[in-house]
């Protein structure tokens, strides 16, 4: 998942009604930025990328279904292992919460007191009894029904169960409270009666630096869906290259999230049975002058055959297609091939920068031409590796999205890409 952090210090607050018809933006902070709680001065840029790749594969399993049933606004984003963290404020008075901002999750949840089993977190847990605006959601109600895997207790309380494919989980009660997002205008945006999960039993591969999930996906309980018409279904982000650890960018909502101007290309979002993920249609990838037709994956071979995700580091492709892609890239690189570490496939000896081929990703109606920083990254002082690899789930990862303004319009059902210097956006 990706990591985004929102700063929320201000003397006045905009209501959601004030922001209606406009937009807002939050500062986007890379996980390894000096502004991030995850920052380690002892890690090199290569260390950070290698760690992100490892964490990325832990995350990818979460895309696999579990067998268990039961005026302007901007946000500040921090990247944690393919995870961007959001600093939000919850309740009245506001309580600061650091959570993973995740385009692959459809629910907002955080760890709460009293917690029967919680993963270790550095910050205090949210205490609902201290918030004057906190309310539990009863059932059966519409708010409860919108949450996947919800159920009713004997006392009429709505409960949820979120289980990820890697074994991570969160169980708790569905509630509502005021959620506040920071804005780069200096006036935070308050979202009253935001529905979220108050996690009382949580565990898995979560970091102690965060305390839950801010779902940005397509489900009815996600932040995007709850913001609804106030942002006209629009949000965008601009992911900094890993080398820009001292700078920050923005995540935008509403009119601030419109992606327009020279160089913009747009592709349809495809609705599938799982409305949580954002599906695109990949048609082909061109390496140099060689166009390789995409043959599909477990997501299918037709429309909606690849997930776009801000939290997965690498771009993952089915093995048959990836083999053709790797061969085409390898043919055009004049460098010594070296053994790739676990999780990667194509690496070269490169103490200095080497020439790599042009790569264009062809989505329906949108040709996205990648730069070398999108296709290769340095894992050591002498080795570079390809940012694509083989896997049984097709995902367009965040290294391929860096230095692009990526805009989602859930009303028009499109995703747009615009080449951008994200350090200046």
Q: Which residues are catalytic?
A: 102, 309
Please spell the DSSP secondary structure of 260-301, one letter per residue.
-STT-EEEE-B--S--SS-EE-EEEEEETTEEEE---BTTBS
Residue 75 β-bridge partners: 251
Torsion angle defined by CA atoms of residues 40, 406, 75 and 34, in that order, rounded to the nearest 10 degrees = 20
- Strand 189-203 to 14-15 pairing: parallel
Phi then psi for 285, rounded to 5 degrees?
-130, 130
DSSP label at 239?
Answer: P
Place of tokens 């995703």: 415
Within 8 A by CB and 6+ apart from 47, the residues are none
Distance CA 365, CA 294 (A): 15
CA 28 to chain centre: 12
Pick the closest to residue 345 from 57, 146, 79 (CA basis).
57
Q: Provide the terminal-to-terminal Cα distance of the chain, rounded to the nearest Å.
A: 22
3-state SS class at 324? helix
CA 161 to chain centre: 21
Residue 293 β-bridge partners: 284
Pick the closest to residue 136 from 102, 159, 112 (CA basis).
159
Is the separation of the CB atoms in 240 and 249 below 8 Å? Answer: yes
Compute how many other C-beta atoms are within 10 angstroms of the C-beta atom of residue 412: 14
Residue 337: CA count within 13 A, CB half-sphere: 12
């Amino acid at each position: 998942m990706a990591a985004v952090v929102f700063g929320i210090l201000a003397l006045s607050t905009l209501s959601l009604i004030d922001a209606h018809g406009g937009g807002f933006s939050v500062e986007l902070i890379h996980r390894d930025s000096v502004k991030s709680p995850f920052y380690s001065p002892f890690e090199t840029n290569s260390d950070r990328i290698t760690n992100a790749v490892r964490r990325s594969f832990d995350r990818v399993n979460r895309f696999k279904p579990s067998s268990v049933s039961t005026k302007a606004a901007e946000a500040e984003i921090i990247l944690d292992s393919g995870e961007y963290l959001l600093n939000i404020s919850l309740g009245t008075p506001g309580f600061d919460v650091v959570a993973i901002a995740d385009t692959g999750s459809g629910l907002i949840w955080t760890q709460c007191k009293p917690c029967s089993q919680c993963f270790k977190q550095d910050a205090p847990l949210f205490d609902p009894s201290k918030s004057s605006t906190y309310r539990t959601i009863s059932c059966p109600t519409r708010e409860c029904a919108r949450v996947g895997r919800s159920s009713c207790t004997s006392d009429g309380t709505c409960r949820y169960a979120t289980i990820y494919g890697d074994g991570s989980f969160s169980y708790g009660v569905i509630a509502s409270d005021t959620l506040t997002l920071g804005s780069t205008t200096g006036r935070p945006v308050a979202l009253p009666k935001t529905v979220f999960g108050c996690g009382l039993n949580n565990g898995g591969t979560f970091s102690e630096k965060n305390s839950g999930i801010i779902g940005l996906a397509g489900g009815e309980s996600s932040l995007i869906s709850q913001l609804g018409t106030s942002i006209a279904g629009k949000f965008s982000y601009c992911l900094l290259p890993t080398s820009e650890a001292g700078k920050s960018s923005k995540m935008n909502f509403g009119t601030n999230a419109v992606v327009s101007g020279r160089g913009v290309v747009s592709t349809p979002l495809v609705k599938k049975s799982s409305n949580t993920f954002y599906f695109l249609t990949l048609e082909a990838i061109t390496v140099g002058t060689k166009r390789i037709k995409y043959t599909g994956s477990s997501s299918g071979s037709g429309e909606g055959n690849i997930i776009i995700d801000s939290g997965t580091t690498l771009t993952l492709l089915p093995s048959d297609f990836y083999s053709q892609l790797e061969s085409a890239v390898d043919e055009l690189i004049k460098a010594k091939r070296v053994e790739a570490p676990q999780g990667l496939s194509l690496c070269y000896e490169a103490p200095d920068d080497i020439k790599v081929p042009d790569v264009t990703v062809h989505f329906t109606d949108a040709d996205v031409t990648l730069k070398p920083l999108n296709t290769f990254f340095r894992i050591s002082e002498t080795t570079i590796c390809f940012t694509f690899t083989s896997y049984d789930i097709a995902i367009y990862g965040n290294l391929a999205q860096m230095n692009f303004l990526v805009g989602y319009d859930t009303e028009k059902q499109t995703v747009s890409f615009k080449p951008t210097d994200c350090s200046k956006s």
